[in-house]
Amino acid sequence: MQFFTSLRLKLFFYFLWAAFSVAGQTDYYPDYSWQIKSPLSLKINPVKLDTAIRFALRNETQTDTDLRVAVLKSYVNEPGYIILGPMKDRGKPAGVIIRNGYIAAQWGDIERVDMCFSASKSFLSTIAGLASDQKLIGNLNDKVNRIVDDRGLDGNHNSKITWKHLLHQTSDWSGCQFDLCDWADRPPKTGGIDDWKNRPLIEPGQQYEYNDVRVNYLAYLLLQVWRKPLPVVLKEKIMDPIQASVTWRWYGYDNSWVEIDGMRIQSVSGGGHFGGGMFINTLDMARFGLLFLRNGKWKEKSLISEDWVRSVYQGSDANPSYGLMWWNNKENALPGLPTEIFYANGYGGNYIVIDKAHDLVVVTRWLDSNKLGELMKLIVGAIEKE
């Protein structure tokens, strides 16, 4: 009798523990393999979701499959334009929709490694975020030359530049790095080379200007701070903990090798404008997006601070839609969608979209860049209202 009484008590406490465990369940995170759930179980209308997927497949980018040809066409007006880093022919449209941490839908070859161009900038930003969290660079409003002694920060103008100016692309840094000059990157359509070289410099922080040469200079400065390859930092601090594959690579240029502490290290690029940048598959991009959806936390560990994640979708005074190398929807660039949406954006239609309001990560590759808003409206519109 005592045995059965003891057994009943054990069973009672077991079911009580199970009930509390279910009630207090934490967010789901994938292990090395993702779990797939039916759209219905994730409160997504499967018919509407299928419409969204067919839309993505129909609206493939017109970017040349041969990406060397594509960039040569796109940047033909840049004086002395040259491809300095590796390139790779692009794949066909691919994507994945993650809700509540589970795969709700996918299309195309989501394990194919492709260039992601300027989506690389959001990975570079994360390296800066890690340095900020670890107090390696001080306050983002601190002048960079307080930490890094580099002649590129000399002079009345460049000496004023802060980490935030570089991350917001508002520095108007003036100079050349790895045989590439800031004035030759997306130059004005009027005027000659001498006009571009000798332009009046704008006070740092006052004007936003997208410029890959300056982004690459930021990568070089962060390399001086970490004193080891930035891909190694990313692998150790982010990609291994989120259990990304081993297939991604982050490249610089043939001539971007520098010596630090007696070691020859390649300084990486923040995109594929001149080749290089991040080469990565769709699923690994989704893991990276899920980390930011979950405020920098992966399972029980905080990999990057919630303060940093919150900062990346604030924007700047010069451009409220762009902050710390992420885009956001504060100025309704994606009409009809939550203003809290933020996303990494790469040439040729490569996106990592984070929608906290709907617990949603969407990665889409090789989409017509004019169609992102429509695609996201179809996906969000497929989610059943609570």
Quote the tokens at residue 44. Answer: 């997504």
**Amino acid at residue number 28:** Y
Cβ-based neighbour number of residue 208 at 10 Å: 18
Q: Is residue 137 part of a domain?
A: yes
Which pLDDT score, from 0 to 100, does residue 1 have?
52
How far apart (Å, rounded) are the C-alpha atoms in residues 66 and 45? 37
Can you give the pLDDT at residue 351? 98
Overall domain count for the chain: 1
> Is the residue at 269 inside a domain?
yes
Q: Is the dihedral of CA 246, 247, 252, 258 positive or negative?
A: positive
Q: Which of 375, 379, 372, 313 is nearest to 340 (CA)?
A: 313
Tell me whether residue 308 is in a domain: yes
Q: Is residue 22 part of a domain?
A: no
How far is the C-alpha of 348 from the C-alpha of 82, rounded, in Å? 19
| pLDDT recorded at residue 4 | 46
Domain extent, residue 349, equals 45-381
pTM of the predicted protein model? 0.93
* C-alpha closest to that of 337 among 323, 356, 319: 356
Residue 286 counted as domain residue: yes
Domain for residue 168, yes or no?
Answer: yes
| Tokens 């018919």 belong to residue | 47
Per-residue pLDDT of the chain (386 residues; tens, 9 = 90+): 554 455 455 545 444 444 433 344 479 999 999 999 999 999 999 999 999 999 999 999 999 999 999 999 999 999 999 999 999 999 999 999 999 999 999 999 999 999 999 999 999 999 999 999 999 999 999 999 999 999 999 999 999 999 999 999 999 999 999 999 999 999 998 888 999 999 999 999 999 999 999 999 999 999 999 999 999 999 999 999 999 999 999 999 999 999 999 999 999 999 999 999 999 999 999 999 999 999 999 999 999 999 999 999 999 999 999 999 999 999 999 999 999 999 999 999 999 999 999 999 999 999 999 999 999 999 999 999 87
Under DSSP, the state recorded for 143 is: B
281: domain CATH number?
A: 3.40.710.10
Q: Is residue 8 part of a domain?
A: no
Does residue 59 belong to any structural domain of this protein?
yes
